[in-house]
Chains A and B, each alone.
Chain A
Amino acid sequence: MNLTRKEEKMLSGERGQGTQTAMELLVAIGDAFDAEKMIPINRAHAASSGQEGDLYFVELLAKGGAKCLVPTSTNPVYDIEFFHRMFEIPSDEAEVARRVMEAYKKVGAILSWSCLPYLTENIPLFGETVAFSESSATPYVNSVIGAATNREAAQSALAAGVVGKTPRYGLHIRENRKGTVLIRVEAALRGSFDYTLLGQFVGEQIGYGIPVLTGITKRPNTEELINFCAMSNTSGAVSMFYIPGFTVEAQTVQEAFQGDVPEDEITVTDADLKRTWEGMQTASGKIDFVMLGCPHYTLKQMAEAARLLMGKKIHGGVSFWICTSATTKALAVRMGYVDTIEKAGGSVVVDTCIDEPCWTVYRDKVGMTDSPKCAYYRRFKDVVVAGLENCVEAAVKGKYE
């Protein structure tokens, strides 16, 4: 890679050890992909996680005096104080989380602790170059917003935030943003959970690639797009997709494939989505907890949960959790949603995620969720996956039938 004099100085350590470490990582990535040069970024999102690997790198940067040069937001970890009051958290795990959060603060990151920074705390603009890790964030930013990012790791995104640049490779090059597989959607999509199933199915089918979806006639809303992004980039590696007419970058199917023919064509029917749904269930009957908000619930989803829980009482044997960002919760409190959810016996928790060690109390329990990611990571014994309405109904009854 050709480096400018300023970049060479960063690499040789003249701008401090932290910046040097960040630069070394970016140069290794750039060289691996034969990138010619580095390009400036407007912002970054580091998928911080509060785990050992995460801690190692962010502390290395923090101790080396690195500071983010562009707005760099952070993913959920967990509020140790909040959870300590309720659950037993292994002290070594809590210590890792505490140090991670401290180090991100030290490098000057935006302490959003949110997996949807692109809606509120750190919003890319059309045409920007960014470095956004996190499964829903990468495809959302590329496809829905029309900024360009690679499928970053937490550390490469943080390094890019510190250096203010990223190597020019992958999705920063127009030809690589070409659609690869045509997806004919024949299934009727009746709401956000159907987009979850569609994402799961498409990711499973294509693995790595850029799908171009046709047959969707009604404009998908924000939550539907978030669900599609989160799932297709978990069951597969989908960093970008097109729904010509609704996503920003290509207006026609031909344009999405840049005039080329698709490598493959796949049809999605109602039966495919039904089979996908059935395939993710590992339990039925009595449930111990309901976990919603993976990805974090939006204000609209908080409103919907509150509407469904209005005047109801959650079964005594069921714990009911909704994960969201601090920003969204503040508004949901103001609008009365949190009060309604709490009166029904539920809790709204911020800064955390279902894949954090704070939930070990449920390890041997049966849970229910509207997010297949929850089932995928296997933090819990068994999981029922269904839409929000079904989750609320089961929470009230204490079982899913």
Chain B
Amino acid sequence: MKGDEARLKCHKIVGGCGEGEALVSHEPICFYLTDPKTGIVREKTHELAGKNLANKVLVFPSGKASSVVQIDGLFKLKSRNLAPIAMIVKDVETVLIVSAVLAKVPLVDRLEEDPFEAIHTGDRVRVDAEKGLVTVRKNIS
């Protein structure tokens, strides 16, 4: 359904391309607090607690926690093919960039619309960091 497809400009931080189901978190994410064997968020108080971020297009405001744990967390997920397929963030910081570069996960920011308005969990999202383009197909089920 072409009519339900939105094409949004974004700013490339880490290059690459990834397509999958969107998983939206309104809270910052620490990858160390996910289960490295499954990709399930195990931080009990987090809005994504119990959800699996493996191979999802992860939409979140920013990263959190110390550099050591954040990088190790994403790296461990990636080495088991359980990292997000791409990441869309609002506020970028050095540690998250380094994490994404090392794990080779496409990362973009500055979406031309508020990502939390434009994308909802379950939408089909394609992130083309190289072209600076995010394509969103609404989940109509």
Contact = CB atoms under 8 A, between A and B. Distances in A.
Given A29-B94, A51-B72, A52-B72, A152 B109 contact: no
A118 interface: no
Contact of B102 (A53, A150, A170, A377): A53
B83 to A, nearest CB: 12
Contact of A53 (B11, B12, B76, B97): B76
B94 A28 contact: no
A49 B68 contact: yes
Contacts of B68: 47, 49, 51, 54, 154, 355
State the majority secondary structure of interface residues on B.
helix
Given A28-B13, A32-B13, A156 B72 contact: no
Given A153-B67, A154-B67, A155-B102, A52 B94 contact: no
- Range of interface residues on B (Cβ < 8 Å): 20 to 34
| For the complex of A and B, 8 pairs with smallest distance between CB atoms | A53-B75, A153-B67, A153-B98, A53-B71, A51-B72, A49-B68, A53-B72, A32-B13
A25 interface: yes
Given A47-B67, A51-B68, 11 more contacts: A29-B97, A31-B12, A31-B13, A32-B13, A53-B71, A53-B74, A54-B71, A56-B75, A150-B94, A155-B102, A355-B68
A52 B75 contact: yes
Nearest to B12: A31
A135 B66 contact: yes
B69 interface: yes
Interface of B: 11-14, 64, 66-72, 74-76, 79, 92-95, 97-99, 101-103, 109
Given A31-B13, A32-B13, A54 B72 contact: yes
A31 B100 CA distance: 14
A28 B101 contact: yes
A150 B92 CA distance: 13
State the majority secondary structure of interface residues on A.
helix
A232 interface: no
B93 A49 contact: no
Nearest to B70: A153
A29 B72 contact: no
Nearest to A29: B97
A151 interface: yes
B95 A151 contact: yes
A234 interface: yes
